[in-house]
Amino acid sequence: METSPLSDPAPRTRLTPPLLPTLSPDSPVSGPAAAAPPVCGPSGVAFFDFDGTLIHGDSLPMFVGEVIGRRRAALALADAIRSAMHRHVRGRGPGCDFPGSVKAIYLKRTLRGLPVADALAAAERMIPRVRWHQPMLEVLKEHRRQGRRVVVATGALDLYMPALLRGLEVDDLLATGMEVVDGKLTGRLSTANCVRLDKAERVTAWIAGNGPVAATWGYGNHPSDLPMLALMHKGEVIRIRRRSNRR
């Protein structure tokens, strides 16, 4: 099944590069376009967010929909949002922030007890449902043609991301891990949620462990990827336009 390509490219906001590998939430993230240093060979690395950057929308509800059904997944997400709001009012949110709490509640209520084999089968079923953002796919492929390494850094789950990235020649994946006990998901995370500052820390550690890196490019959406993009020599905020004439 073919995905629906976009005919018009997404708007991009170029970010002013700080010195690497400084990690600060207050790093500058707007300003004039900055030319990336010339790079030869694989010493350059391009980091891509996934949801809302390489694809349209959020892959997690899509995955959960393949596990428990789309209607139940939508109802579970709405219930997780309500529950997170009530818990945060009482100061008892399970995540470090409101989106993190919604995610923690959603995962626990929908994936707890799921056999890993069933999760992997659901990942295969969701492949044809993904709506790729074609302009950014071309950017990814161009980095590969230039001999640069490509890393996907995403808050999406490591359960399904390998299946979705199959064939894209991605060198590494930084994703959110799920805890597994006796071949079943517990509904809890096994890593930090790979978003915002946690994602930036993962990217910083990757650069430190896989250097030397002559230049870095980053692509993500606003506001969750700004900490990661602030680390790059050249970072761009991607905003996917919604089309009113979808097929």
Please, what are the averages of pLDDT over each run of 10 residues along the chain (247 residues)? 33 43 34 37 85 97 97 96 82 70 95 98 97 97 95 98 96 98 97 96 96 94 94 96 54
Q: Which CATH number fits domain 12-58+131-238: 3.40.50.2300, 3.40.50.1000, 3.40.1190.20, 3.20.80.10?
A: 3.40.50.1000
**pLDDT number for residue 211:** 84
Q: Give CA–CA dist 213/203, Å, rounded.
A: 12
Give the pairing type, strands 149-157 and 44-48. parallel
Per-domain residue ranges for the chain?
12-58+131-238, 59-127
Residue 20 pLDDT: 35
Could you tell me if 131 and 4 are in contact, meaning their C-beta atoms sit under 8 angstroms apart? Answer: yes
pLDDT at 95: 54
How far apart are alpha carbons 175 and 158 in whole angstroms? 5
**What is residue 223's predicted lDDT score, i.e. its pLDDT?**
87
Average pLDDT, the chain: 83
By the 8 A CB rule, do 154 and 218 touch?
no
**Exposure of 86 in the CB half-sphere (CA atoms within 13 A):** 7
| 233 backbone dihedrals φ, ψ, rounded to 5° | -65, -35
The pLDDT value recorded for residue 10 is 43
Q: What is the pLDDT of residue 34?
A: 36
- Tens-place pLDDT, residues 81-118: 998 888 776 676 565 578 888 999 999 999 999 999 99
What's the pLDDT score for residue 204? 97
pLDDT for position 241: 81
Instruction: State the chain's maximal CA–CA distance in angstroms.
Output: 54
Q: At what angle do helices 98-111 and 59-68 cross, to 10 degrees?
A: 20
Task: Give me the pLDDT at residue 89, please.
Answer: 67
For residue 243, the model assigns a pLDDT of: 60
pLDDT (tens digit, 9 = 90+) per residue, 126-148?
999 999 999 999 999 999 999 99
Q: Which token pair is 41?
A: 């060979």
What is the model's pLDDT at position 27?
Answer: 35
Q: What is the pLDDT of residue 97?
A: 78
